[in-house]
Amino acid sequence: MTNRLKVLVGGVQLRDGVGTVVDLLGRIATRAGLHVLANERNYASTIYGAHQFDPILICEEPPLSHGDDQVDILVALEFDSNPDAPQQPNRDTILRHGAHLRDGGVLLYDASTGTVPTQALEARGIRVFPLPARQIALRELRREVVKNMVVTGALFRLLEFDMDQRYLRALLEERFARRGQDLVDLNLQAALRGRAIVEEVLRERGWGDVGYRLEPRPGGEPLLFLSGTDALGLGAIQAGCRFYAGYPITPASPLLEFMDRYLPVYGGRSLQGQNERESIRAALGASLAGARAMVGSSGPGISLKVEEFGLAGAAEIPMVVVDSQRAGPSTGMPTKTEQADLRMAVGAGHGEIPRIVLAPSTLEECYTLIMEAFHLADKYQCPVFFLTDLTLAEVRKSVPQRLFQETRVRITREGVLTEEEVQRDGFRRFRLTDSGISPRIFPGTPGAVFKVSGTEHDELGFVTTDPPKRQAMMEKRMRKMETYLREDARGPQVYGDPVGRPVLVGWGSTKPVLLEARERLRAEGLEVAVVQITHLWPFPTRLVKPVLEPATMLIVCEQNYSGQLADLIQERCLLPTRRILKYNGRVFYVSDIVRGVHRIVRHGAAEVRVAEALPVAVEAHEGE
Amino acid sequence: MSVQPAARTSASKVWEENAVPRHRIQWCPGCGDYGVLNALKLAFTRLELVPHEVLLIGGIGCSGQIRNYLNGNGFHGTHGGPLAYAVGVKMANPDLRVVALAGDGDTFAIGVENFVHTCRRDPQVTLIVMDNGVYGLTTGQRSPTGGLGQEFPQFSEEEPPPFSPLRLALAAGATFVAQSFSGDPKHAAEVYVQAMEHPGFAFVNDFSPCVTYNKFNTYDWFRERVQPVPADHDPTSLEAAWELLADFRRRGRSPLGVIYRSPRRRKAQRRVPMWPQELEGVDLEPMLRAFR
């Protein structure tokens, strides 16, 4: 069994079905008890025609991260020219990613319109399998749609995986349950045809195998194959979210689709706003009415919502705001990842409001931390920003089902008065309290009414500009953040001992890469610690500074240009930082971090800006 | 704030509790918004509403203050937003009686997107626009309805002609369109009652003169110009509504009353779960099974 295998599937977007092949592989490997991680979904912000690729890692044990950009098996689905690059018939994936293919790896490509020259690859010991998949599908099976099943069958044969078609058959039978056995048989036959071609090549070339093998590991605990967005949606519904509003935007649209699909099942409502502002306003209305409410968007949409954050802060309305960050500024690169909205989350808007900023670092934390976000929004009656990014939103991974079944929270609706409590204690919506937290009611509660406003107000909610009242209300609101820091802020996650060592500091989706870089550096003889900050604002200086202070140096790794967390640490902890920064749209690879650490630790660099090691052969024209 | 049981006070007084006392109301003497305030009290009393079941959402501007001049829950958000908040409130809790109260600037300029789409969405929300043609709170700049009835020798980008809220509402698919005049609060109250009984989005454009900044569209000007919708008008007919507006425009008059009313078939909705006992112990299986 190959204990760590990376397959990269590439092709023409929408036409070739890159996602279908990866989803099938991921699902079946997950069912077979293997651990899957597909963390680098690369697609264009156009619908049809651009080059798309999707690397997927399959391992015996859960992998720390997606590792490097080297791949073991390259699957090229183009059957003829990429509309964007007509001078390169069925070679786009090979040209772009051939250089990342390991020596001794495997290339499987659609040779329906002829073979391509691959001597250079073969010279590196790469075994090449030309497969006329589309031709087989069209001519022999009379259904073009099964071309990817021919490819899948070939791929499974290369990996000597599912040779009795047990897993594939089960999946197809579920998927086509309503459309009949004929379709299942056709697909299975297509897979067998792919297998036959591979066997022919193996025979001709006299290869026994290709050096990679996947073996099912049945009997382990049940795993699910899902995305970070799915995990976030599950967590939100588990946490009592019953109102969601969004507006179509990459990469937050899948969250809107998830909520559209599942909120009604739980009695909730999901609204596609007519614009970003209607979305958050409707969500604020729903929250005011008593629902646990959430909005989701990406940078451009978050910018449009900024005015309402101020309202949520001033009028003290709970609101969870998911920002699936993508590469900015402006429209930026809609389908590429970045972590450059931290400053916005921490500071966007005029005036000053209490706000909480959280950032999950893994798919699992998308599930667990979003539950905390709802609790905090309720308790502190303020906006809670939940910073994910394109990588976290789109990562697909096998995760133990037990995570979802066992991690539950008690939903308290803290601070909400019932009818009896109103009668017993009376009700002043913005009562000045030591904690800063005032009681609230759901409108409709017999015996009480509220006046709520984003205009400065007194304890009853009536407009005021009286200096002492204004000051008292401002201080009451901001006091909630002191209470938060005392009662709910959480310190960083610490891996290894930071004392007397360089420390890699990160936030968001980059944690797995930092952890794997730590292992690799240790193997090279350099011991570093990793500190991951999930609770970013109000900045828990009291909890962070003692962890960072004993380090020999702080190397903050972020996917942005300026080093936004690094600046925050310098500002709040008064500690110097060094930086490894990457903002070209690609994820951090482990080698990026390892090389960066060497340049900083050995050569004294203050800042490393990661560039792609290998040039990308063709850059397709990409529209908006 | 606590609400006194209705029996202890007279019905009309109920709406003056938990509100800014009348002598501290910050509208100019003679402001058209007073008429709307009085008409609202009449309408609420006639409908026997209970303050805790009512949510008044005020816009930004002089008129939005009205939420604090009445009992009941009040909310005041950002400029142009009342209807969008109202949509969310009604989706979360359809049992609440939601009335949005805003000016013409809030509704037809900065909030026109929400006006158009709320007409489409058709939540059971009543919108009363206190239309005076100016931004009173910021000292009299012209709004999209400004210049009503004035002769313009020529127009420019800076000074376009006024547009018609009633026509916009009809074009956007509103299911209840009416007009009232705060100089006639009794009639206005009748219109509000019908609006609040409408099982969908009900829009009432109320002429509420700004006595300080609009010296053209005065009470007297409106009195000469407004005419009741004829008794034989069929408000359920969209064609009749358009014809009525065309007829009034030809004659240089403005209609008062219900111009269009045609309830839509609506899916019945329930309040979303919000109390802890309604939210706990959910079965995740319907979601998990998609990921196996």
Q: Domains in chain A, please, with CATH?
A: 4-205 (3.40.920.10), 225-406 (3.40.50.970), 419-487 (no CATH), 493-609 (3.40.50.920)
CB B208 within 8 A of CB B134: no
Can you tell me the mean pLDDT for A513-534?
Answer: 98
What pLDDT sits at residue A513?
98
- pLDDT tier for residue A604 given thresholds of 50, 70 and 90: very high
Can you tell me the mean pLDDT for A337-356?
Answer: 98
Judged against a pLDDT cut of 80, whether residue A582 lies above it is answered with: yes
**Cβ <8 Å between A289 and B96:** yes
CA A27 to chain B, closest CA, distance in angstroms equals 7
Task: Determine the residue type at A512.
Answer: P
Can you tell me the mean pLDDT for A325-351?
Answer: 97
Compare all CA atoms of chain B with the CA of A307 and give the residue at the minimum distance.
Answer: B78
**Cβ <8 Å between A277 and B282:** no
> What's phi and psi for B35, nearest 5 deg?
-60, -40
- pLDDT tier for residue A526 given thresholds of 50, 70 and 90: very high
Identify the CA nearest to A587 among candidates A621, A565, A612: A612
Cα separation of B145 and A508, whole Å? 49
What pLDDT sits at residue B226?
98
Find the CB nearest A308 among B78, B86, B270: B78
Average pLDDT along chain A:
95
Question: Which residues in chain A are closer than 8 Å to B124, comparing Cβ atoms?
Answer: none
Can you tell me the mean pLDDT for B104-119?
Answer: 98
Judged against a pLDDT cut of 50, whether residue A441 lies above it is answered with: yes
- pLDDT tier for residue B235 given thresholds of 50, 70 and 90: very high
Can you tell me the mean pLDDT for B40-56?
Answer: 97
Compare all CA atoms of chain A with the CA of B75 and give the residue at the minimum distance.
Answer: A452
Question: Which residues in chain A are closer than 8 Å to B266, comparing Cβ atoms?
Answer: none
Residue B234, token pair as written in the block: 């069929």
List CB contacts of A289: < 8 A, sequence separation 6 or more.
Answer: A442, A443, B55, B88, B89, B92, B93, B96
DSSP string of A286-350, one letter each residue: HHHHT-EEEEEE-HHHHHHHHHHHHHHHHHT--EEEEEEE-B-STT-BTTS-----HHHHHH-SS
What is the H or E stretch that residue A476 is in? helix A467-487
- pLDDT tier for residue A79 given thresholds of 50, 70 and 90: confident
- pLDDT tier for residue B152 given thresholds of 50, 70 and 90: confident
Can you tell me the mean pLDDT for A270-290?
Answer: 98
CA B288 to chain A, closest CA, distance in angstroms equals 8
Compare all CA atoms of chain A with the CA of B289 and give the residue at the minimum distance.
Answer: A224
Residue B9, token pair as written in the block: 């006070």
Q: How many residues are recorded in chain A?
A: 624
List CB contacts of B3: < 8 A, sequence separation 6 or more.
Answer: A446, A447, A448, A449, B17, B18, B50, B51, B52, B71
Can you tell me the mean pLDDT for A254-272?
Answer: 98
Q: Comparing A441 with B3, which gets the higher pLDDT?
A: A441
CATH superfamily of B6-291: Thiamin diphosphate (ThDP)-binding fold, Pyr/PP domains (3.40.50.970)
For chain B, give every domain's residue range.
6-291
What pLDDT sits at residue A343?
98
Question: Which residues in chain A are closer than 8 Å to B276, comparing Cβ atoms?
Answer: 240, 410-413
Mutate to test the interface with B, among A449, A458, A462 (most CBs of B within 10 A): A449
**Cβ <8 Å between A311 and B272:** no
Judged against a pLDDT cut of 50, whether residue B91 lies above it is answered with: yes
Find the CB nearest B68 among A230, A427, A462: A462
Residue A296, token pair as written in the block: 């989701």
Question: Which residues in chain A are closer than 8 Å to B280, comparing Cβ atoms?
Answer: 240, 410-411
**Cβ <8 Å between B84 and A278:** yes
CA triple A571-A574-A580, angle to 5 deg = 75
Judged against a pLDDT cut of 50, whether residue A621 lies above it is answered with: no
Cα separation of B164 and A508, whole Å? 50
Task: Calculate what percentage of chain B has a pLDDT beyond 90.
Answer: 92
Residue with tokens 């391992």: A59
Question: Order of strands across the sheet with A101-110?
Answer: A127-131, A101-110, A71-76, A4-12, A51-59, A35-38, A396-400, A223-227
Question: Which residues in chain B are closer than 8 Å to A282, comparing Cβ atoms?
Answer: 84-85, 87-88, 91
Residue with tokens 């020798």: B153
Can you tell me the mean pLDDT for A397-406?
Answer: 94
Judged against a pLDDT cut of 80, whether residue A495 lies above it is answered with: yes
CA B63 to chain A, closest CA, distance in angstroms equals 14
What pLDDT sits at residue A622?
39
CA A543 to chain B, closest CA, distance in angstroms equals 32
Compare all CA atoms of chain A with the CA of B61 and give the residue at the minimum distance.
Answer: A455
Compare all CA atoms of chain B with the CA of A225 and give the residue at the minimum distance.
Answer: B291
What pLDDT sits at residue A81?
61
Task: Calculate what percentage of chain A has a pLDDT beyond 90.
Answer: 91
What pLDDT sits at residue A408?
80
What pLDDT sits at residue A617?
42
Can you tell me the mean pLDDT for A36-51?
Answer: 91
List CB contacts of B233: < 8 A, sequence separation 6 or more.
Answer: B240, B244, B257, B259
Question: Which residues in chain A are closer than 8 Å to B57, comparing Cβ atoms?
Answer: 285
Question: Which residues in chain A are closer than 8 Å to B75, comparing Cβ atoms?
Answer: 288, 315, 451-453
- pLDDT tier for residue B4 given thresholds of 50, 70 and 90: low
List CB contacts of A471: < 8 A, sequence separation 6 or more.
Answer: none
**Cβ <8 Å between B52 and A444:** yes
List CB contacts of B277: < 8 A, sequence separation 6 or more.
Answer: none
Question: Which residues in chain B are closer than 8 Å to A426, comparing Cβ atoms?
Answer: 2
- C-alpha B19 chain-centroid distance: 20
Mutate to test the interface with B, among A451, A458, A463 (most CBs of B within 10 A): A451
Calculate Rg over the CA atoms of chain A.
27
- DSSP, res A220: S
- pLDDT tier for residue A114 given thresholds of 50, 70 and 90: confident
Can you tell me the mean pLDDT for B211-222?
Answer: 97
Residue A85, token pair as written in the block: 């690059």
Find the CB nearest A289 among B65, B93, B284: B93
CA B24 to chain A, closest CA, distance in angstroms equals 12
CB A504 within 8 A of CB A469: no
**Cβ <8 Å between B88 and A410:** no
> What's phi and psi for B195, nearest 5 deg?
-65, -45
Cα separation of A56 and A396, whole Å? 9
Can you tell me the mean pLDDT for A230-236?
Answer: 98
**Cβ <8 Å between B279 and A292:** yes
**Cβ <8 Å between A288 and B85:** yes
Task: Calculate what percentage of chain B has a pLDDT beyond 70.
Answer: 97
Question: What is the ipTM metric for this complex?
Answer: 0.97
**Cβ <8 Å between B88 and A287:** yes
Cα separation of A589 and A578, whole Å? 18
Judged against a pLDDT cut of 70, whether residue A623 lies above it is answered with: no
- DSSP, res A140: I
What pLDDT sits at residue A406?
87
